[in-house]
């Protein structure tokens, strides 16, 4: 390969001829792909070009090279086989929403909640940045498919990147490589163009850094072109373009055109003691508990939970009008802190099985990893995510709050066997949830579809470390999709309303949860994690007409006697704090909702205005 990752060498074949060779010997005849790859190579001027085949040998070669270059640390084989830790630039640790754009032709198409720039203007800016941006590096071409390669119309993408870390992470998160390219070529299929550069070209002989990136960052979606251009970041949703950029932003725009939904949701299969199966999905904002809920270990007797997906759900109607849901991803990119043997043993077993890339966690002295919340006992000494010595007396957390594990979904031992069924699984309930210290009770059921859409539309949550910016600020996050809607947010809500009307009587029931409410002493009112199975039991009981509840102005809320609390250690007071609907608190919510709806202006569907007024009436304001 021309130019090692660490240092470009003057003796390697000139970039031009290596790239020309790789183009001439391309493993595909897909004309549009070939044209696009050579156009990008021409623009970005890489030293070499690699067609990613997705093989084990390729993974070994790339991880070896990254260990050599200092990008990855190999973990102890007896603890985390075939696993690595990466440490990002301290300025490149999360999605950058300020620098994320939806560049539709018309500004209205992007809507008031997204950043917008004229697509031609944006392309000109980005071409300027991409010009020569891969110099001294290898350009990797990653054919991938989101969802099953056996689907009627597989959803193809091709990511071009100059980051081997992205190649290896994409290999975990999606189905990539030779088989995908072969089928895509044979059917001359459409694919989403996803271009990524870390924006750190190397001069001849210049030494590389472990985590190349650029201060200037752009994460840009062109919804009409179905194209993604990402520049300057190597991290997570900014760089693994199959995930948020494709499977949510671009896919939501496709779904709007085609009458389906691409959502930021986990999908969970619950089997009750009688063997009845229900599938439920949950839309919670980033770092608000999707992965944990998707991998729940029920604490109630006889109930079994299996995971279908932990972050993204594609939902389509079948011929009978049933809403069926598919997880388009093949891996988990999960929040590390707070994931522990007591809170999420299923995730811990999945990562301990190996084949995992950790990013920005801490290292133990014996070649393992650690993060806050992994074990009750805190190690006496660690190397923190910035490479500094760390002891329990240190004032900074050892792992970055948005540190992550990237692990193959197949390693989840509670994975439902039908998780990759191209036809998906039938959905019975949709659960919205946010992170709120006050106001929002543990669980309630909405009155009907339109009211449920209103609840999703006004979902509120305190911001987390999953995106750069302030943490702990309450913001409205419609359907947990605020940073991921690939078109106008008002049109998005109208799409939800419309689907409910078109499929009246067949839609899943809508619920709303809050695991994060505080009790009068300031602690979590509800123990959460596995105990959330009690809430699931109530939800499923509502579907089956077996669980009772109390009508309140915001929906139906369980009374303590409606919940299975067998064996749960919770005081009457805490339970009351968790379930309380305080009319005064809810009246104080109204101005915030009003303000949020004002942002949407004339694109706000009239049904949402009607629901707002009905809530006012029920709150007697």
Ligand X SMILES: O=C([O-])CC(=O)C(=O)O
Ligand Y SMILES: Nc1nc2c(ncn2[C@@H]2O[C@H](COP(=O)(O)OP(=O)(O)OP(=O)(O)O)[C@@H](O)[C@H]2O)c(=O)[nH]1
Q: Which residues make up each annotated binding site for Mn(2+)?
A: 244, 264, 311
Give the CA count within 13 Å in the CB-facing half-sphere of 511. Answer: 25
* Rounded distance between C-alpha atoms, residue 143 and residue 147, angstroms: 13
By DSSP bridging, strand 550-552 and strand 555-557 are antiparallel
Q: Say how many C-beta atoms besides its own lie within 10 A of residue 320's C-beta.
A: 8
State how far the Cα of 81 lies from the Cα of 569, in Å rounded to an integer: 38
Q: Which residues bind to ligand X, rule: CB under 6 A?
A: 95, 236-237, 243-244, 286, 311, 333, 466
Residue ranges for the binding site?
95, 235-237, 244, 264, 286-292, 311, 402-404, 435, 529-532
Binding characters for ligand Y, 311-330, by CB under 6 A (x = yes): x-------------------
Tell whether residue 284 is a contact of ligand Y (CB under 6 A): yes
Kindly indicate which of the ranges 290-298, 337-345, 366-374, 497-505 contains the residues binding Mn ion, using the contact rule CB under 5 A: 290-298
Q: Give the 3-state secondary structure of residue 400.
A: coil
Question: Could you say which DSSP state residue 297 is in?
Answer: -
Q: How far is the CB of 169 from ligand X (least distance, A)?
A: 11
Phi-psi group of 472: left, alpha or beta (phi > 0 → left; psi -120 to 50 → alpha; rest → beta):
left
Q: CB under 5 to 8 A by kind: which of ligand X, ligand Y, Mn ion, none does 244 bind?
A: ligand X
Residue window 309-348: x/- pattern of binding to Mn ion, with contact defined by CB under 5 A: --x----------------------x--------------
- Asked if 136 contacts 3 with a C-beta cutoff of 8 angstroms, the reply is yes
Based on the shown chain and the rule CB under 5 A, indicate whether residue 264 belongs to the binding site for Mn ion.
Answer: no
Quick note: the x/- pattern for ligand Y over 572-611, rule CB under 6 A, is: ----------------------------------------
Query: Among residues 71, 221, 252, 291, which is the contact residue for Mn ion, using CB under 5 A?
Result: 291
Decide if 288 is catalytic: yes
Q: Is 143:26 a contact under the CB 8 Å cutoff?
A: no
Instruction: Please list, in sequence order, all residues whose beta carbon lies within 8 angstroms of the beta carbon of residue 106, skipping any fewer than 6 positions away.
Output: none
State CA 406 to chain mean position distance: 12
Residue 197 binds which one of ligand Y, ligand X, Mn ion, none, with CB within 5 to 8 A depending on kind? none
Per CB under 5 A, 290 contacts Mn ion: yes
* Site membership for ligand Y, residue 291 (CB under 6 A): yes
Comparing CA positions, the residue from 178, 140, 143, 179 lying closest to residue 1 is 140
Binding mask 232-271 for ligand Y (x = CB under 6 A): ----------------------------------------
524 forms part of the interface with ligand Y (CB under 6 A): yes
Rounded to whole angstroms, the Cα distance separating 399 from 194 reads 30
Least CB distance to ligand Y at residue 240 (A): 12
CB of 367 within 8 A of CB of 75?
A: yes
Residues that bind ligand Y (CB under 6 A): 284, 286-292, 310-311, 334-335, 337-338, 343, 466, 515-516, 524, 528-529, 532
Contacting positions for Mn ion (CB under 5 A): 290-291, 311, 334
Active-site amino acid positions: 288
């Amino acid at each position: 390969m021309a130019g090692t990752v660490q240092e470009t060498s003057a003796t390697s074949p000139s970039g031009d001829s290596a790239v020309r060779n790789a183009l001439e010997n391309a493993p595909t005849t897909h004309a549009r792909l070939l044209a696009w790859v050579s156009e990008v190579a021409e623009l970005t001027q890489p030293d070499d070009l690699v067609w990613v085949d997705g093989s084990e040998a390729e993974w070994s070669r790339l991880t070896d090279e990254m260990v050599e270059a200092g990008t990855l640390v190999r973990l102890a084989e007896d603890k985390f086989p075939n696993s690595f830790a990466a440490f990002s630039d301290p300025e490149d640790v999360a999605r950058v929403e300020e620098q994320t754009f939806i560049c539709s032709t018309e500004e209205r198409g992007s809507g008031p909640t997204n950043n917008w720039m004229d697509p031609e203007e944006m392309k000109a800016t980005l071409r300027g940045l991409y010009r020569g941006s891969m110099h001294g590096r290898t350009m990797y071409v990653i054919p991938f498919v989101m969802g099953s390669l056996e689907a009627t119309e597989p959803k193809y993408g091709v990511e071009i990147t100059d980051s081997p870390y992205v190649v290896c992470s994409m290999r975990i998160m999606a189905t990539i490589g030779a088989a995908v390219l072969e089928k895509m070529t044979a059917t001359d299929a459409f694919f989403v163009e996803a271009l990524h550069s870390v924006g750190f070209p190397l001069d001849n002989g210049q030494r590389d850094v472990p985590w190349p990136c650029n201060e200037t960052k752009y994460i840009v979606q062109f919804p009409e072109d179905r194209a993604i251009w990402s520049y300057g970041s190597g991290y997570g949703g900014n760089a693994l373009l199959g995930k948020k950029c494709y499977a949510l932003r671009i896919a939501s725009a496709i779904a709007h055109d085609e009458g389906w939904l691409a959502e930021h949701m986990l999908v969970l299969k619950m089997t009750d003691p009688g063997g009845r199966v229900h599938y439920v999905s949950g839309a919670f904002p980033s770092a608000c508990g999707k992965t944990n809920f998707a991998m729940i270990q029920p604490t109630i007797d006889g109930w079994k939970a299996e995971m279908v997906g932990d972050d993204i759900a594609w939902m389509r109607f079948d011929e009978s009008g049933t809403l069926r849901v598919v997880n388009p991803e093949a891996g988990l990119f999960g929040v590390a802190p707070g994931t522990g043997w007591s809170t999420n043993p299923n995730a811990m077993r999945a990562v301990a099985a190996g084949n995992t890339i950790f990013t920005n966690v801490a290292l133990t002295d014996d070649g393992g990893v650690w993060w806050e919340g992994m074990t009750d006992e805190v190690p006496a000494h660690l190397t923190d995510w910035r490479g500094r010595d760390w002891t329990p007396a240190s004032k900074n957390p050892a792992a970055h709050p948005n540190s992550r594990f990237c692990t193959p979904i197949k390693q989840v031992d509670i994975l439902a066997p039908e998780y990759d069924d191209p036809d998906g699984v039938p959905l019975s309930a949709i659960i919205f949830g946010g992170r709120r210290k006050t106001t929002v009770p543990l669980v309630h059921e909405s009155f009907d579809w339109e009211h449920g859409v209103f609840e999703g539309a006004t979902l509120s949550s305190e911001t987390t470390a999953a995106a750069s910016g302030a943490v702990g600020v309450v913001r409205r996050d419609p359907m947990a999709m605020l940073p991921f809607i690939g078109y106008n947010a008002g049109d998005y809500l109208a799409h939800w309303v419309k689907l409910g009307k078109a499929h009246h009587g067949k839609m899943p029931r809508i619920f709303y949860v809050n695991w994060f409410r505080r009790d009068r002493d300031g602690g979590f009112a509800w123990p959460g994690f596995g105990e959330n199975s009690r809430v699931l039991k109530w939800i499923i009981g509502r579907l089956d007409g077996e669980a009772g509840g109390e009508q309140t102005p915001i929906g139906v809320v369980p009374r303590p006697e409606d919940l299975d609390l067998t064996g749960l250690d919770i005081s009457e007071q805490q339970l009351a704090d968790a379930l309380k609907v305080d009319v005064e608190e809810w009246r104080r919510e109204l101005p915030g909702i009003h303000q949020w709806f004002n942002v949407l202006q004339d694109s706000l569907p009239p049904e949402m205005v009607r629901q707002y007024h009905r809530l006012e009436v029920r709150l007697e304001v």
